[in-house]
Structure 1
C-alpha cells in the first residue's frame, strides 16, 4: 500500500512540473499577440491617418480681424479745424479664442514688470477674480472653503458656476489685501478679461513713456496678444462754443449704445467700438467712422495667434465742412452772454432759464451761427446750450404777427390794397379786455403795415375773427367757426411755425399747441384770439428762423442745414475729393403773391425805421445796410420743477425776428430771452444789433 502511494505521488509531481512551463508559455504567447495587435494598430494609424493627425496638430483657423481707423475731422466754413484727433501711442491686447484666465493672469503680471498703469475702479469681485485666476489657486480655495460651499443639503455637488461664486465669497470673507503692484495687475487683468474674442483693447494710451514702449517691445515674445499701437481722442482747437451741436463720441468702455447695438453689430461694428452718440457725431457716424482695417489672423489649435497678415489698411473717416464760421459763432455766443449778463445785473433773470440766438442764410438755409445759454434759476449757474435753439420751445409773442397777416392775405379777408381795420379793444364776456400794449384809443384804425410797426394785438385778433366768420357783441357774445385753430395753424405751418424744420441735427423738437376746447368741450374762442398775436402756441427758435427766412427770401420755406459738404481723406491725412455738397432744399412755396409779401416786409421795415412813440424796433434803425424786424413780448409763467403745486410767478418772454440787408437779405435771425421779470432793456434788439455789426464787418457789407 505504501509503495502504491509513493508511485502515485511521484507521477503527480512530475505532471505538475511539466504543467507550469506550459502555462507560462501560454501567457507569453497571449501577451505577444496583444503587443502584435497594438503595433499593427499603431502602424495602421500611422500609415493611413498619420497625415491627417499631423495636420490636425498643425491646424490653423483663419479669421479676419477688423481694426478702427482715426475718426474724420470737422471744419468750419473757412476751413478752420473744429474737431480733430489727438493721437497717442498705446499698449494693446488682442484676446485669443478660449484663452484661459490663468494665461491672462500670467501676461498681466509680466506686463507690470515693464510698465505702470493707473489703478482702475476695482470692485471686490474684480480683485477676487484676479486672485482666483492664479494657477491652481481656484482648486486650493475650493479645498479650503467649508463643505457647504461645495455641496448642497442633500450632499450633491454644486454647479461649477455656484462653486466659483462661493470661492469669490470665501476670498472676500478672508479679506483681500493687494499692494499697489497687485492692484495694477488686477486692473490689467480686468481689462484683458473683458475683451471679446479676437478683439483688441487699449491697456495704456496715456502718459506712455518711451522707456515703457521699448521694454514692452523687447519682451513681446513672452507677452502673447500684446502689441504696440496707437489711440486717438477728440480735440477741439477752436474751443467748445458749439460742442453741444457737434455731439459726443463713446469711450471704449461704453462702446455701442444699447439702443443701437443690434443694428450696428449687423453693420460690422464691434461692441467696444467708439461711435457717435449724439447730434452731428451721431448723424454722420457712417461718414466720420471711416472704413475699418482688415487683418487675416491664423489661430493655431492651441488658440494662440500664429500669424497676422494685413489685408486692408482701412480708410480714415470722411471730413465734415460746416456752414458755421467759428469766428462769427464765437462773436454771437459772446454777444449773447454779454446781453444776458446785463439782464442779470439788472435783476430780471431770477426765473430765467437762459437765452438763445440763431442766424441763417435765408437764400440757402445754411446755419451761420447757433448760440445758447442755459441758466439754472436756483443757482444762477450758466452753461453753453446751443442745442436749445432746436429742442426748446417758447411762446414767442408778437414776433409771429408777420405770419398772421400773411395768413389773412392768403385767406382773402384783407388785400394789399384794402387792409385798414378799427383798433378798438375786444370785450369778451367774463374775460379781461383784450387790447394792445398801448392805451386804448391811441389809434382809431391801422393798416397792416402800421399794425406791424406798432405791434397791434387788436389788429391780429380782428383778422382771426374775420377768418372765423365771428359773430361778436361786446361784453355779451362771440361765436367763431370751429376750424379757426386749424386754419390759423395751417397758415403758420406753411412758414415753418409749429412743424419740424428738418435741420440735419438729431434731437429737433416741434412747437407745442395749446388746447382748442375747454373742459366743457366748448371752443376756446379767447385762446384763438391769443393765438393770432403769438400768445398761445409755443415754437422752437429754429422754427422762428425758418419763418422769418421764408418772408425774407420771397416765400420759399428752406430746410436749414449745418453741414455744407463732405470730403474724403487722403492717405497723408489732408482733405481729398468732395463726396457731397449740400444744396438748398425747398420744403414748400407759400401761396402768397409778391404784393402780399411786400405788405409784411414793409411793416417789418417800418417797425425799425418808422416814426412814432410806439414803433417797436427802433434800436436797429442806425444799422447800415438797413434791416427789417419784428419784436415779440409774451406773458409766460415760471414753473418750479421742485415745487409743481405752487402758483407759478408771472414772467415775460421777449423775442425778435429780423433779416438784412432789407433790399437783398443774406442773413436772417431769431432771438429769445424767456422768463424775464421785466421787458425793459430791449435785450433781443441790442443782441441783434451786435450780430449784424459783426456779420456786416465779416462779410464786408457797407
Structure 2
C-alpha cells in the first residue's frame, strides 16, 4: 500500500528574505553605532553635555578724590544704597517684566524723574508684553510671513492704539520705570535700577527677597560730595549719571578703553580733564555658565581699586576769601557808587605763582541784581574774553623795544592824537612830556599810540593828517603779545579755554586802540600768564591746576604715595632783554608806588611792596531795542613782592559804568594780596 506524501511548507518568497536581511543589517549598524557612541566617544559627548563657558564682567569702583594744596578735601565720595540688576545670558523682555513686577512691591519709583521719563514707546512695549497674542493679531498672515522678527515687532508697536495706554495706574508706571532701567543692562553686567534716595527700608526689603528677584541685588554705591559746597565747584566739574553712561559722542573712545556703556565718566572740568587717573581700576569677575546659560560659579579675578587722588595747586581757604571779597566789593560798588549801574553783573580773577604756574585761586562771580544773589562762574576766567585796557601796556612797551620803535628812555609829548577822519584819541588827561617809565606810571595812551604808529611803517604822524599803516603791523604786534600768552592758548590743564577775540577791521585807529588794550579781547587766565611773565623776568610758564596725582591708600583715608607730579613748564622765553624787562618792571612798580601812580592810592603803603598795571577799557553795551550805553571795563594785573615775586594776579570787572571814582579793581586787587599774605603768615606760624 502506497504511503501518502506529507504536505511540505511553501518556501518564503525571495523578496521577503531580502527584506528581513535588510532589517537585520540596519539593526546591526544601529547596535554598532550605539557601541561606538558609548564606548569610543562616550566621554566626549558627556563632556559636551556638561560643557560650561566662562564670561567676565567688570564692577565699577569709586572715583579718586580731589584735594587742595594743603590736603583739604575738595571732592570726595559718599556711600549710598543702590538697587542693581545683573541679567543672565538669554534673559528675555518678559523675564525682566516679571522681575520688575515683583520688585515694585519693595521700592518706589515715583521720584527723581523716573516716572517722567516714561515715553509712549515704553507704554506700548509694556502693553505688548501683557497682550502678546492680541498684539500679534494686529498683523495679517501675509505681513507676518513677509517681515522678519525685528520688523514685525516694530510694526506691531506702530499699530498699538494709543487709547489703550491712558489708563495705567501709578504702580504699572513704576513697573515700566523699573523695566526701562533693566533694559539698559548687558548680560552679566550690573545696571543700577535706583540709587537716588534709596531708603533704608527699601534696601532692607529688597535684601530680604533676593532669592525671588532673579538678578536683583541690594548693594552700596557712591556719589560725589563737596565739602566746600559751591566753592570751586565750577572747576571741579561733574560726572555723568549711571543712566547717562558714557557720552554718545565719545562712545568709541571710551569703549576701546575698557569702559561699559553705563559707566559714569567726567563730562566737564577737572573730572573730565583727569578722567584716566580718577576712574580707578574695575574689579573683574569671572562667571561660569552651563549650556543653558545658568550661572554655576563665579570668581573674582581682579580686585577693584578706586581711582587715584588728584592734589590741586589751589588753596581753598584763599579761594573762599577771594570769592567772598569779590561778592562784597561788587555789592558795595552797586550800592554806594552812583556811576556804577545795573550792568555790573560779573567779575573774574586769577591768582597764580608766577614762577611755577601753580593756580592758587580762580574766581568768577555773577551777580543777579533782582534776586540779590551770586552764582559761581569760575570757568569764565578761561572762556570770557574782554578788553583789559591799559593793563596790556607792559607788553606794548616791550614790543616797542624789541621792534626798534622806541628805545628805553624815549620821550613823547602827550597832548592827544588826531588822525584825519577819526575822533581825537588821548590819555585820561594831557600828561605833557613823558618817557617810557612815566608812560606806564601815569598810563599814557598817547605814548602807546606813538609806539604803534612807529611799528606801522614810516613814522609820518602830523596832527589831523592821514597816516600810512602797514596792515601787517596788526599781526606783528599780536606776535609780540603772543610771547606773553595774549591771544593764544595758555596751555592750562583744562578741557577747554578761549584764546580771546581778534578784531578784524585793519584801520589805523584800531591799531592804536589795540596798543592800549581796547581792540582785541583776552581772558583773565591769559592776563595772569602775561603779568607772571613780566614778574618772573620773561619766562612764560604754563598755568596748571594739578599739583600731583597720588595712589589711594588701602584704608581710603589720607593721601597715598605720589604717582605723578606736575613740574614747572616754561613755554617760551620772551625775546626782550633782561634790562628791557627790568625797565618795564620798574614802570609797574611806579604804578603801585610812584607819586603819580594810577594805583598808588591803594597800594603805596602796603607792606608787601607790589607792582602792576591798572586798566580801563571803554565798552558799548547794545540792547535788543537798539539802544546803546557806554560803560567801562575796569581791570588790574599785579604781583608781589616786587623784588622776589611769589604771587601774581589778574582781574577784571566788566561794565562798571562811567565813573572816574570807581576803584573796585584796586580794592579787589588789594584784597587779594591781603588774603594771600595773611594766609602765608598763618602757614609760617
Give the structure-1-normalised TM-score.
0.88
| In structure 2, distance between residues paired with 1:333 and 1:609 | 27
Q: Are positions 1:141 and 2:121 aligned together? A: no
Q: Do the aligned partners of residues 557 and 195 (structure 1) sit closer, same or farther apart at CA in structure 2, a change above 3 Å counting?
A: same
Q: Among 409, 422, 433, which residue is 2:401 paired with?
A: 409
SS at structure 1 position matched to 2:349? strand
Q: Note the C-alpha offset of 1:174.
A: 2.9
- The 8 Å contact of residues 318 and 567 in structure 1, kept in 2 or not, is answered as yes
Matched, 1:567 2:550: yes
Match of 1:107, SS state, is: helix
* 1:449 corresponding residue in structure 2: 437
Cα deviation digits, residues 531-568 of structure 1 (max 9, x gap): 11111111111111111111111111111111111100
The residue matched to 2:551 in structure 1 has which SS?
A: strand
Distance 2:301 2:292 in 1: 24
Q: Using the alignment, how far apart are the partners of 1:306 and 1:88 within structure 2?
A: 30
Deviation at 1:37, TM superposition (A): 6.7
Q: 2:334 touches 2:344 (CA, 8 Å); kept in 1?
A: no
378-387 vs 71-80, greater mean Cα deviation: 378-387
1:485–1:516 Cα contact (<8 Å) kept: no
Equivalence map 1:361-510=2 (5 Å): 361-375=353-367, 382-416=374-408, 418-438=409-429, 442-468=430-456, 469-510=458-499
State the partner residue of 1:663: 643
- Distance between the aligned counterparts of 1:45 and 1:171, measured in 2? 56
Residue 132 of structure 1 and its aligned partner are, at CA, apart by 3.0
Aligned mates of 1:648, 1:35 — CA distance in 2: 106
- In structure 2, the residue matched to 1:127 is 123
Q: Show the counterpart of 1:602.
A: 586
> What is the CA-CA distance between 1:654 and the residue it aligns to?
0.9
1:646 corresponds to 2:626: yes
Using the TM superposition, give the Cα deviation of residue 31 of structure 1 relative to its aligned residue in structure 2, in angstroms.
8.6
Separation in structure 2 between the aligned mates of residue 245 and residue 689 of structure 1, nearest angstrom: 24
Q: 1:179 to 1:57 in 2, by over 3 A?
A: farther
RMSD: 3.1
CA contact (8 A) 2:438 2:587 kept: yes
> What's the CA shift for 1:609?
2.1
For residues 553-611 of structure 1, the C-alpha deviation after alignment (integer angstroms, 9 at most, x for no partner) is 11111111111111000221132110112111111112333332232222222222222
- Is contact 2:410–2:435 with CA below 8 Å preserved after alignment? yes
With over 3 angstroms needed to count, the CA separation of the structure-2 counterparts of 1:450 and 1:343, relative to structure 1, is same
Change in CA separation of 1:176 and 1:434 when aligned onto 2, cut-off 3 Å: closer
Matched, 1:338 2:361: no
- State whether residues 136 and 156 of structure 2, in contact with CA within 8 Å, keep that contact through their aligned partners in structure 1: yes
Alpha-carbon displacement from aligned partner over 1:383-409 (angstroms, at most 9, x marks no partner): 210001111111111111111111222
CA 413–128 in structure 1, closer or farther in 2 if over 3 Å, else same: closer
Aligned partner of residue 614 in structure 2, secondary structure:
strand
Residue 597 (structure 2) pairs with residue 631 (structure 1): no
- Residue 683 (structure 2) pairs with residue 693 (structure 1): no
| C-alpha distance in 2 between matches for 1:115 and 1:540 | 50
Report what 2:282 is aligned to. Answer: 292
Q: Which moved more, 1:263-272 or 1:165-174?
A: 165-174
Structure 2 contact 599–666 (Cα < 8 Å) conserved = no
Distance 1:382 1:162 in 2: 54
Deviation, structure 1 residue 511 = 2.4
Distance 1:165 1:627, change over 3 A: same
Counterparts of 2:231 and 2:15, CA distance in 1: 102
Q: How does 1:30-41 map to 2 (within 5 A)?
A: none
Classify 1:60/1:221 alpha carbon distance in 2 versus 1 (closer, same or farther; 3 Å). Answer: farther
CA contact under 8 A between 1:656 and 1:685: conserved in structure 2? Answer: yes
Unaligned runs of 5+ in 1: 1-17, 518-523
Q: Indicate yes or no: 2:76 matched with 1:72.
A: no
Relative to 1, partners in 2 of residues 1:651 and 1:89: Cα closer, same or farther, differing over 3 Å? same
CA deviation after TM superposition for structure 1 residue 363, in Å? 1.6
1:635/1:650 contact within 8 Å kept: yes
Q: Kindly state the Cα deviation for residue 678 of structure 1 after the two structures are TM-superposed.
A: 2.0
**Structure-2-length-normalised TM-score:** 0.90
Separation (CA, whole Å) in 1 of partners of 2:68 and 2:512? 44
| C-alpha displacement of 1:689 | 1.3
1:525 aligns with 2:513: no
Going from structure 1 to structure 2, the CA distance change for 1:99 and 1:479 (only over 3 Å counts) comes to same
- State whether residues 124 and 160 of structure 2, in contact with CA within 8 Å, keep that contact through their aligned partners in structure 1: no
More deviation, 309-318/31-40: 31-40
CA distance 1:648–1:21, shift in 2 (3 Å): farther
The answer to whether residue 544 in structure 2 is matched with residue 558 in structure 1 is: no
Q: C-alpha offsets along residues 481-528 of structure 1, whole Å, 9 cap, x if unaligned?
A: 4432222222211111111111111211102221253xxxxxx22211
Query: Helix, strand or coil for the counterpart of 1:133?
Result: helix
* Cα 1:24–1:179 shift into 2, 3 Å: farther
Q: What is the number of equivalent residue pairs in this alignment?
A: 667
Q: State the alpha-carbon separation in 1 of the partners of residues 280 and 302 from structure 2.
A: 13
Alignment counterpart, residue 683 of structure 1, candidates 635, 641, 664:
664
Secondary structure, aligned partner of 1:426: coil
Once the 2 structures are TM-superposed, how far is the Cα of residue 339 of structure 1 from its aligned partner? 1.5
- Name the CA distance, whole Å, in 2 between partners of 1:128 and 1:33: 60
- CA gap of 1:454–1:211, structure 2 versus 1, over 3 A, is closer
Contiguous gaps of at least 5 residues in structure 2: 1-9
The more displaced of 589-598 and 451-460 is: 589-598
Instruction: Say whether the 8 Å CA contact 1:359–1:545 is kept in structure 2.
Output: yes
Distance 2:246 2:198 in 1: 27
CA distance in 2, matches of 1:471, 1:125: 75
Secondary structure class of the residue paired with 1:637: strand
Q: Distance in 2 between matches of 1:549 and 1:560?
A: 10
Report how far residue 249 of structure 1 moved: 0.4
2:568 aligns with 584
**CA–CA distance in structure 2, aligned partners of residues 603 and 84 of structure 1:** 46
Q: Distance in 1 between matches of 2:258 and 2:268?
A: 20
**Contact 1:455 1:616 (C-alpha < 8 Å) held by counterparts:** no
Q: Which shifted more, 178-187 or 344-353?
A: 344-353
Whether the 8 Å CA contact 2:615–2:634 is kept in 1: the answer is yes
Shift of 1:69: 0.9
Deviation readout 1:413-461 (Å, 9 max, x if unpaired): 4333x322222321110111111111xxx43301211111111101111
User: d(CA) in 2 for partners of 1:499 and 1:678?
Assistant: 30
CA–CA distance in structure 2, aligned partners of residues 381 and 486 of structure 1: 42
Distance 1:332 1:210, change over 3 A: closer
Partner of 1:60: 52
Distance in 2 (CA, whole Å) between partners of 1:275 and 1:194 is 17
Alignment partners' CA distance in 1, 2:170 and 2:421: 78
Give deviations 1:599-628, integer Å, cap 9, x for gaps: 22222222222224x734422223222211
The equivalent residue for 1:256 is 246
Distance 2:445 2:496 in 1: 33
Counterpart CA distance in 2 for 1:189 and 1:42 is: 49
Secondary structure of 1:251's counterpart equals: coil
The DSSP-based 3-state class of the residue aligned with 1:294 is: strand
CA shift for structure 1 position 99: 1.3
Q: Against the structure 1 CA distance between its residues 166 and 479, is the aligned structure 2 distance closer, same or farther, given a 3 Å change threshold?
A: closer
